[in-house]
Chain A
Amino acid sequence: MEMINVALPKGRLGEKVYDMFEKSGFPCPSIKEPNRKLIFENEAAGVRYFWVKPSDVAIYVERGAADIGVAGKDILLEYEPDVYELLDLNLGKCRMAVAAKKDFRDDPNSTLRVATKFTNIASRYYAEKCRDIDIIKLNGSIEIAPILGLSDVIVDIVETGKTLLENDLEPKETILPISARLIANKSSYKFKNELIERVRLGLKEQVKTDD
């Protein structure tokens, strides 16, 4: 029997997504057992799930280790993997935003120092505005960069804005809205088309009922 390999993002979002897959007819009860396993298989249902780091899902799918997966729009825009983006799951909703100290005033006369994990998204955004910037790539705790004078602004994901507020920062501009997407490997989509379409339609129905 043909199996479909699914890369799920580890964490709360991944668990919600798994429930949607289960309701779509692709259950794998062993995934809910408390253990540290990362690969789960239900041969009868023709599905194999992997838990992977959310930012790695797109790599697994692009390189064909997984046929499909669920990745955030932020990751897809940052790494631009060559995959199909089949469905907006309307989950994990947040936005990519520019944030700065409350009293920050942008001086167009000087180079803007931007701290971010998302260097491509930030570069593209400011290039479109023809703004001269100095990108500072950080891997975490981005919020402290403006406080310590490392940067003028940050470009990061904002969900509720609570972390920003607690660090005396506030969102200044929204770059784009973010949500989780169902992605597929282009080659797998040709050879496992029926299965992948069954998953997509099953998930799509639930996206509608959640609205």
Chain B
Amino acid sequence: MAIDESLLKREEAAVYALRSLYRRFGYTQFKMSKFEEYDLYVRNKDFLVSDGIITFTDTNGRLKALKPDVTLSIINNSKDSDGVQKLYYNENVYRISGTTHTYKEIMQTGLECIGHIGLFEVCEVLSLAVKSLETVASDCALELSHVGLIEAAFDELKLSKELRKAVTAFINAKNTDDLISLCEQNGVEPEKLTVFTKNYPCPDDAFNAVKAVYTSGAVLDALNEFETIFNVLSELSSAVKLIVDFSCIGTMSYYSGVVFKGYIRDIPDAVLSGGQYDKLMKKLHRTAGAVGFAVYLDELGRYDRSNAEFDIDTVLLYGDDISAAIKTSEMLSSGGSSVMVAKEVPKDLRYRQLLKITEKGLETVNGND
């Protein structure tokens, strides 16, 4: 069966291209059920992007949920072993959209690498994130941060749990002014935290800025790891713009190391999001580590407007001769063009040409070329 690729929507074409990419790098597909036990999500509510979960009672009385997330299911189905499991998925998830506050079906593709995670696995996943962006668009950017680094800084500054929450929100929003006020109210040196909200057009400036305010300990260890990962990634010959932006840390509740988000020009939200989430594994009583990312393909479709000049190539009007209508439409469409057979011209349809079957044969009524 031949597939006409021109018929694929942008997000559909992206799914095929990404699946092929992940397979090429040794990832195998993980297929899961649409439903999961509700309990799995309730126990790990902090991890979910949105609070709302669509639930229903199964015929055996068990409470099930339409999966709002894929990663939890993958971890649930993986085993703690010595090796590394490399999996990719292409699934629909159901969650509340941040902007519309209603449930949405979101097409998500991504991969997870679970097991004994070392620097190689982290760098490989990141390089696949870069390649994923390249596959779906030409003008993209990947921003990176390191949760371990920020947490080490919080530990060094001995920030309380409440203060960490407020500081994290200000860092996420690059809200330097309110962060300075908060530092002053709590006796924290502002420079120690504003270093994470600043804009660094040059990655080296970002690393040097942290080194200028933190001189030892766990912060520098995490920074060294981050710098190593970033340098490996920079050596890939890729058109994707790599940005060190310490602010992209999310809630930090399940990530432990490097975190990243991918953007495409003219799409307002991140289309890719991921990181190393050993903390989540630990919460789920697992000894293995994990790193992965998801690509939100609905974002691609949402902003992809068709530029086609015509909806259909030919509208064919017929009279009483049904046999002639069938034969003519077959003849016209055999060359690959689209033909709509109708009694009268459909309203609001943009067509290339209008043909009519008359007693004399096939007549051109008008053409829009």
Contact = CB atoms under 8 A, between A and B. Distances in A.
The answer to whether A and B assemble together is yes
Interface in A11-39: none
A159 B99 CA distance: 30
Contact of A82 (B98, B143, B199): B98
Interface string B172-199: 0111111000000000000000000001
Contact of A88 (B139, B178, B263): B178
Chain B's interface: helix, strand, loop or mixed, by majority?
loop
B267 A64 contact: yes
B199 A193 contact: yes
B156 to A, nearest CB: 25
Contacts of A64: 266-269
A163 interface: no
A62 B173 contact: no
A84 B267 contact: no
A88 B270 contact: no
Contacts of A185: 268
Contacts of A121: none
A62 B270 CA distance: 11
B267 A187 contact: yes
B268 A62 contact: yes
Question: Which of A59, A63, A64, A187 has the most C-beta atoms of chain B within 10 angstroms of its own C-beta?
Answer: A187
B175 A187 contact: no
Contacts of A191: 139, 141, 263, 265
A193 B265 CA distance: 12
Contacts of B325: none
Interface in A153-188: 185-188
B283 interface: no
A10 B265 CA distance: 28
A122 B178 CA distance: 20
A88 B176 CA distance: 9
B241 interface: yes
A63 B99 contact: yes
A105 interface: no
Contact size class for A?
Answer: 20 to 34
A168 B141 CA distance: 55
A197 interface: yes
B83 interface: no
Contacts of A193: 199, 201
Interface string B317-334: 000000000000000000
Given A186-B270, A191-B139, A193-B199, A84 B174 contact: yes
Interface string A73-87: 000000000111111
A182 to B, nearest CB: 10
A129 interface: no
A197 B173 contact: no
Contact size class for B?
Answer: 20 to 34
B106 to A, nearest CB: 16
A10 to B, nearest CB: 22
A190 B141 contact: yes
Nearest to B199: A197
Contacts of A59: 99
A103 interface: no
A82 B50 CA distance: 14
A210 interface: no
A88 B177 contact: yes
A85 B233 CA distance: 29
A211 interface: no
B243 interface: yes
A83 B269 CA distance: 10
Contacts of B178: 85, 88
A194 interface: yes
Contacts of B176: 86-87
A185 B247 CA distance: 14
Interface string A45-83: 000000000000001001110000000000000000011
Contacts of B139: 191
Nearest to B266: A64
Nearest to B261: A186
15 contacts: A63-B268, A64-B268, A82-B269, A84-B173, A85-B173, A85-B174, A86-B174, A86-B175, A87-B176, A186-B263, A186-B268, A190-B241, A191-B139, A193-B199, A194-B201
Interface of B: 98-99, 139, 141, 143, 173-178, 199, 201, 241, 243, 247, 263-270
Interface of A: 59, 62-64, 82-88, 185-188, 190-191, 193-194, 197
Q: Top 5 A-B pairs ranked by shortest CB distance?
A: A64-B268, A88-B177, A85-B175, A190-B141, A84-B174
Given A86-B174, A187-B266, A197-B199, 11 more contacts: A63-B268, A64-B268, A64-B269, A84-B175, A87-B176, A87-B177, A186-B263, A187-B268, A187-B270, A191-B139, A197-B201
